[in-house]
């Protein structure tokens, strides 16, 4: 009998599991989300060109004005232009979202890889991670910020810390599953060194789940930053952030609800877009991850 059929040699040599970004347009909803996110990013980058007024300029005579030709969305309680503040507010949200995602993935990946491979580190690190996870994220963040003073850096660190355990656990679980794979055992018997096994056989397994997790961290960081600002424990109030605008709007909620609704809407769209892209990325890159949907 002939050898079982070989693939046609004309078959293209495809690289499996390479990260492709085609999923960004896979459905109309995802495409809309992508467009929204791109628009918000552009708005943040070109804020100085787009904003009609200085977001910090106080004009007490123009307090709480309704929408007009001069102030498209009206003014806040200090007479600052709401539209300009919202446009600038995108900057903080995106920087914090991206920063927290990169930092938590960097630190979490390191902890997860080490914990997945060395048993004694694992025992200690996972207890620490359990402890960190037991502290509600908002409380942990406001405690850090209230002690070390509110700057964009402390807020970012405060938001990153509670995200680290989730990333570390994810990486660890991927490593623990992957190291049981026969191909990892084969690499051991081929005499491959530990760093080589980690880099070549274990690390690649973590990329897809990490991209997905990164988008979720990004969304949750934007949300947490807004909540911190809203509670008065975030970046200093005169800085235009969406959370700050809403926090100031609380007192005038019954007079001028748009102070809360406009930034709230933009904030929701930003987070929604990132989350939708995250879900699409998960479906496209890592079908297995549907099962462990711990967010």
Which residue is associated with the tokens 């994810």? 170
Which residue, 100 or 144, has its beta carbon nearer to another protein? Answer: 144
In the set 66, 204, 251, 255, which binds another protein (CB under 8 A)?
A: 204
In the set 105, 155, 217, 276, which binds another protein (CB under 8 A)?
A: 276
In the set 22, 60, 195, 294, which binds another protein (CB under 8 A)?
A: 294
| Minimum gap (Å) between residue 276 Cβ and another protein | 6
In the set 75, 104, 244, 275, which binds another protein (CB under 8 A)?
A: 275
In the set 68, 148, 151, 236, which binds another protein (CB under 8 A)?
A: 148
| Straight-line distance from the first to the last Cα atom of the chain, in angstroms, rounded to the nearest whole number | 52
Per-residue binding letters, 106-145, with another protein (x by CB under 8 A) = ---------------------xx-xxxxxxxxxxx-xxx-
Candidates 54-62, 81-89, 91-99, 272-280: pick the segment binding another protein (CB under 8 A): 272-280
| Minimum gap (Å) between residue 70 Cβ and another protein | 26
By CB under 8 A, the residues from 218 to 237 that bind another protein are 219, 223, 226-227, 230-233
By CB under 8 A, the residues from 16 to 35 that bind another protein are 16-17
In the set 28, 61, 183, 195, which binds another protein (CB under 8 A)?
A: 183
Per-residue binding letters, 71-110, with another protein (x by CB under 8 A) = ----------------------------------------
d(CA 270, CA 249): 20
| Minimum gap (Å) between residue 55 Cβ and another protein | 21
Which residue is associated with the tokens 């930092």? 103
In the set 37, 159, 246, 285, which binds another protein (CB under 8 A)?
A: 246
């Amino acid at each position: 009998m002939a050898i079982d059929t070989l693939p046609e040699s004309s078959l293209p040599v495809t690289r499996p599991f390479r990260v492709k970004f085609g999923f960004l347009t896979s459905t109309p909803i995802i495409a809309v989300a992508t467009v929204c996110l791109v628009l918000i990013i552009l708005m943040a980058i070109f804020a100085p060109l787009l904003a009609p007024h200085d977001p910090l300029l106080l004009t007490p005579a123009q307090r709480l004005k309704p929408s007009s030709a001069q102030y498209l969305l009206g003014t806040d309680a200090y007479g600052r232009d709401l539209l300009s503040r919202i446009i600038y507010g995108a900057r903080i949200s995106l920087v914090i979202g991206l920063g927290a995602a990169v930092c938590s993935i960097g630190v979490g990946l390191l902890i997860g890889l080490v914990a997945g491979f060395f048993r004694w580190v694992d025992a200690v690190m996972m207890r620490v991670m359990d402890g960190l996870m037991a502290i509600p994220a908002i409380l942990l963040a406001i405690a850090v910020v209230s002690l070390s003073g509110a700057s964009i850096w402390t807020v970012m660190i405060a938001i990153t810390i509670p995200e680290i355990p989730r990333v570390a656990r994810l990486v660890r679980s991927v490593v623990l599953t992957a190291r049981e794979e026969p191909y990892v055992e084969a690499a051991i018997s081929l005499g491959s060194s530990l760093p080589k096994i980690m880099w070549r056989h274990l690390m690649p397994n973590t990329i897809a789940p990490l991209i997905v997790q990164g988008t979720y961290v990004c969304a949750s960081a934007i949300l947490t930053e807004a909540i911190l600002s809203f509670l008065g424990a975030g970046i200093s109030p005169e800085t235009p952030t969406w959370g700050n605008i809403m926090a100031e709007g609380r007192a005038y909620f019954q007079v001028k609800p748009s102070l809360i609704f406009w930034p709230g809407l933009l904030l929701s769209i930003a987070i929604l877009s990132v989350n939708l892209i995250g879900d699409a990325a998960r479906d496209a890159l890592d079908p297995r991850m549907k099962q462990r949907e711990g967010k």
